[in-house]
Structure 1
Amino acid sequence: MLAHLDEHAIAYEETHHAVVTSMLESARLGLSVEGVRCKNLLMQDKKKRRLLLVVAQADRQVDAASLGRGLGCGRLSLCSADLLLDRLGVVPRALSPLALINDKEGSVELVIDESLCDVSRLLFHPLVNTSTIALARDGWGRFLSSIGCEPTYVVVGGI
Structure 2
Amino acid sequence: MSKATDTEVYQLLAEMQIPYERVDHKAVFTVAEIDFVIDGSDVKNLLMKSKKTRNYYFVICPGQKRLDIKALAKAVGESQLSFASEAELFDLLGLERGSVTPLALPHDTEHQITLVIDETIDQTKKIGFHPNTNTATVVIAFSDFKRFLANIAIEPTYLVIPEKQPEA
- TM bucket (normalised to shorter chain) is over 0.9
CA distance in structure 2 between the aligned counterparts of 1:55 and 1:49, rounded to whole angstroms: 19
CA distance in structure 1 between the aligned counterparts of 2:75 and 2:33, rounded to whole angstroms: 31
Residues 36 and 119 in structure 1, CA contact (< 8 A), matched pair in contact too: no
Task: Point out 4+ residue stretches in structure 1 off by more than 4 angstroms.
Answer: none
CA distance in structure 1 between the aligned counterparts of 2:93 and 2:123, rounded to whole angstroms: 27
**Does 2:12 match 1:7?**
no
**Does 2:58 match 1:53?**
yes
User: In structure 1, which of residues 115, 121, 124 is the aligned counterpart of residue 126 of structure 2?
Assistant: 121
CA distance in structure 1 between the aligned counterparts of 2:49 and 2:114, rounded to whole angstroms: 10
**Does 2:80 match 1:72?**
no
CA distance in structure 1 between the aligned counterparts of 2:41 and 2:123, rounded to whole angstroms: 11
CA distance in structure 1 between the aligned counterparts of 2:17 and 2:27, rounded to whole angstroms: 28
User: In structure 2, which of residues 36, 40, 55 is the aligned counterpart of residue 35 of structure 1?
Assistant: 40
TM-score w.r.t. the length of structure 2 is 0.88
CA distance in structure 2 between the aligned counterparts of 1:17 and 1:116, rounded to whole angstroms: 24
Q: Equivalent residue of 2:133, what SS?
A: coil
Residues 123 and 143 in structure 2, CA contact (< 8 A), matched pair in contact too: no
Aligned length: 156
Runs of 5+ in structure 1 lacking a partner?
Answer: none
* Correspondence list, 1:115-154, <5 A: 115-154=120-159
TM-score w.r.t. the length of structure 1 is 0.93
Residues 125 and 132 in structure 1, CA contact (< 8 A), matched pair in contact too: yes
How far did residue 157 of structure 1 move? 2.1
CA-atom RMSD, angstroms? Answer: 1.3
